Amino acid sequence: MWRAIGLDEPVASPQLDPSSSVEGKGNQDGRQREWSCGRLKFRTDFDSGNLGDVIPCTKEGEYDLWVRPDCSGQACETKHRTWFYFGVSGQSANEVVSFNVVNMNKQAKLYSFDMRPVYFTPGSTEQWLPTSDPVRHQAVNSGFKISFSHRFESARETFFAFCIPFSCTDNERLMATVQKHAEQRDDLYFCREILGYSKHGRPIDLLTITSKGGMLDSAEAPLSYPCVDRGDAARAFDPKKKIFVVTSRVHPGETPATHVFNGFLGFLLQRDDERAIKLREKFVFKLIPIVNPDGVSFGHYRSDSQGQNLNRFYDDPKPDLHPETFAVKSLIMYYFGKGSLEVCIDLHAHANRMGSFAYCNHLSSQQQIDTIMYTKLVAMNCPYFDFRSCSFSERNMSIKDKNGESKEGSNRVALYRSTNLVHIYTIETNYSCASLTTAVTDATDGTKTLSPGYKVQSRKKFTVDSFGQIGKALLVGMLDVREWNPYSRLKSSEFKNMQILRNWASSYINASVLSKKFKSLSALSPKKSSVAAAATDKPLPKPRRSSISAARGDGGGENKKERRKSIFDQNKELIRAMSLENRERRRSIALQNEAEKDKRAVGGDKSVSDKLNVQRLELDGVETNENIKAVRWF
Ligand SMILES: [Zn+2]
């Protein structure tokens, strides 16, 4: 991916070298960061590291590990204990060591998807890999314990983490390298500046990427907050060229967000891809890779340095208390004030739902059609993005989390309340698994295939590459919405054109409204209908007779045919929408069955079944057998 943008200087994969990370500023809180347990040494004295304690078990070769809660030992200590990242040395090659992480937050759903810790041995493995054996997990007291074993490939120091890490140091390396190369290119405009500083004084990077079309002679005006000296501010552009903002890692432990972000950035910088060229021509991209650098550097899971969830303060951020959210919101409101703000995407990771999906605001029907079309188009370009998991519910704009903080303060909702902008999304991506229920059709120019599609496969583990494909699809989906995509998959899909897709989106809304009605009516019925259960977050439910009876307000009876006909007449659009969705679902199931059959036919021969998988998962000519392929950045 990176070679294509001209970054040909060999640079180590940025996330692959924790041993050379410097200890993060402000991390010197006097807490223990190294443990000697017999021959083995554990350490967490590097950027994003997290481990609270290590105690050898009575059984030789087994260790109990404790995760440090966010803001450990401070008055603002939180209950977030999920992110871990530590190094182990002193072992011999082929030695097997067992680890029990004994005080995690409950993450049963995640580990039931076969989530595994990842490991990396600098100088030995080329990339972060999942540990080879499944994790055992259980609830203990008020917490949660995972147990895993690892056979060390060598005597070198090996690092283990909850999920593939990406620290501030990794980010600095990547940003510096991208800057060095991108600034030399004459086919794009690139600027790296400091948007603001965190509570502990860490810089918050802001990248501007676009074409040189519409560039004005002046620089952008300084933003109106005290923490920033925008001396090297990016050049201003004609306000007709719209602003597309992407933010990531307000929640520090959600590293999949960064891998999606990097896929987005990599595609956007492609030199020759016509879609990337079109995107740069049409939008000015403002990208913020790490919103919460303190939290990332401290190895927190969800909080900043003060124990705060920064994604709950976008409604009224204070420059002294939440300088990170204040800086991001100031930037966004600046472009809103200029009339050029168009899209805001905030990237996150999710522990409960598989795959990748969007939380969207609940909008008026006309506006909602636009967000439904965008998310559907993203799914049509990426098998890892699952439209059916997307939420458009009103409840999800104000629901309170365990700490009693409302989503009204989240980036998505607060920015919508301030701007009424349609295209504001939270993109969630599971830490571990893609559901892969979405078939992706070929992109053609009418005569030949320009960009091959995917068939549906069974559940698949996410890798850095597949996370990155989601970032790419977020861009391609926006080109499709605007009908600017030279390789659109729309023509080869069942929707054929934007009008049919628009009609479908409209039907989808009607189906949601109707399923809400079913929900309230069926609450009166002794039978719980599946329609009610699926109501708002999962539209396009299949109505059952019990719901229809409930909607009718009686328990059935004579003239059934007539009544059914009348209900179906009233809801033609719903039925049409459902039949489209069901057709897609049936096709997915058939393809999955076919894949299973293929696997059985080869008698469990893994190499042959891998080959089949590779054949099925070709994307734009990029080989994507991710579990085998090393991550190569440059
Ligand atoms: Zn999050």
Q: Examine residue 137 and state whether it is found in any structural domain, yes or no.
A: yes
Any bridge partners for residue 347, and if so which? 248, 427
Average pLDDT over every residue of 522-537: 42
Is it the case that residue 626 has pLDDT exceeding 80? no
For 466, how many CA atoms within 13 A lie in the half-sphere containing its CB?
28
Residues 206 and 277 in one domain: yes
Per-residue b or e along 400-420, where b marks 16 or more CB atoms closer than 10 Å to that residue's CB = eeeeeeebebbbbbbbbeebe
Residues 466 and 522 in one domain: no
Virtual torsion, Cα 201, 176, 269, 259, nearest 10 deg: -60
Average pLDDT over every residue of 557-563: 62
Residues 540 and 604 in one domain: yes
What CATH number corresponds to the domain at position 56? 2.60.40.3120
Residues 507 and 405 in one domain: no
Residues 440 and 524 in one domain: no
Residues 462 and 374 in one domain: yes
Tell me how far the alpha carbon of residue 631 is from its chain's centroid.
18
Residues 300 and 402 in one domain: yes
E-assigned strand segments in 293-412 = 341-350, 356-360
Residue 464 pLDDT grade (very low, low, confident, very high; cuts 50, 70, 90) = very high
Residues 406 and 446 in one domain: yes
Q: Examine residue 166 and state whether it is found in any structural domain, yes or no.
A: no
Ligand 1 center to residue 350 CA distance, Å? 7
Is it the case that residue 521 has pLDDT exceeding 70? no
Q: Examine residue 448 and state whether it is found in any structural domain, yes or no.
A: yes
Q: State the pLDDT at residue 113.
A: 86
Residues 248 and 282 in one domain: yes
The active-site residue out of 157, 324, 342, 428 is 428
Average pLDDT over every residue of 223-244: 75
User: Ligand 1 (ion): which residues have CB within 5 A?
Assistant: 251, 254, 348
- As a whole number of angstroms, the distance between CA 597 and CA 211 comes to 48
Ligand 1 center to residue 302 CA distance, Å? 7
- As a whole number of angstroms, the distance between CA 37 and CA 353 comes to 38
Q: Examine residue 437 and state whether it is found in any structural domain, yes or no.
A: yes
Q: Are 50 and 72 in contact (CB under 8 A)?
A: no
Report angle CA 62, 63, 69 to the nearest 5 degrees. Answer: 155
Is it the case that residue 203 has pLDDT exceeding 50? yes
Ligand 1 center to residue 166 CA distance, Å? 15
Average pLDDT over every residue of 291-320: 95
Q: State the pLDDT at residue 89.
A: 97
Q: Which domain holds residue 627?
A: 503-631
Beta 242-248 vs 341-350: how paired, if at all? parallel
Q: Are 342 and 243 in contact (CB under 8 A)?
A: yes
- As a whole number of angstroms, the distance between CA 91 and CA 61 comes to 10
Residue 564 pLDDT grade (very low, low, confident, very high; cuts 50, 70, 90) = low
Q: Are 187 and 19 in contact (CB under 8 A)?
A: no
Is it the case that residue 250 has pLDDT exceeding 90? yes
Any bridge partners for residue 427, and if so which? 347, 358
Ligand 1 center to residue 83 CA distance, Å? 13
Q: Examine residue 16 and state whether it is found in any structural domain, yes or no.
A: no
Q: Which two tokens stand for residue 9?
A: 């200087």
- As a whole number of angstroms, the distance between CA 550 and CA 554 comes to 6
Ligand 1 center to residue 51 CA distance, Å? 21
Residues 234 and 94 in one domain: no
Count of structural domains, the chain: 3
Report which residue type is found at 582: N
Global pTM exceeds 0.75: yes
Ligand 1 center to residue 31 CA distance, Å? 27
Q: Give the mean pLDDT of the chain.
A: 81
Is it the case that residue 558 has pLDDT exceeding 80? no
Average pLDDT over every residue of 326-334: 93
pLDDT tens profile 351-387: 999 999 999 999 999 999 999 999 999 999 999 999 9
- As a whole number of angstroms, the distance between CA 382 and CA 480 comes to 13
Of 466, 493, 520, the last residue of a domain is: 493
Average pLDDT over every residue of 452-479: 88
DSSP 122-136: TTT-SS-EE-SSPPE
Q: Examine residue 306 and state whether it is found in any structural domain, yes or no.
A: yes
Q: Examine residue 125 and state whether it is found in any structural domain, yes or no.
A: yes
Residues 201 and 303 in one domain: yes
Residues 90 and 130 in one domain: yes
Of 464, 493, 522, the last residue of a domain is: 493
Of 439, 467, 493, the last residue of a domain is: 493
- As a whole number of angstroms, the distance between CA 1 and CA 226 comes to 38
Ligand 1 center to residue 163 CA distance, Å? 14
Residue keyed to tokens 């390396």? 173
Q: Examine residue 53 and state whether it is found in any structural domain, yes or no.
A: yes
pLDDT tens profile 146-167: 999 999 999 999 999 999 999 9
428 is catalytic: yes
Any bridge partners for residue 449, and if so which? 444
pLDDT tens profile 69-125: 999 999 999 999 999 999 999 999 999 999 999 999 999 999 998 999 999 999 888
Which has more confidence, 554 or 77?
A: 77
Helix (H) or strand (E) holding 336, with range, is helix 323-337
E-assigned strand segments in 155-265 = 158-161, 189-197, 203-210, 215-219, 235-237, 242-248
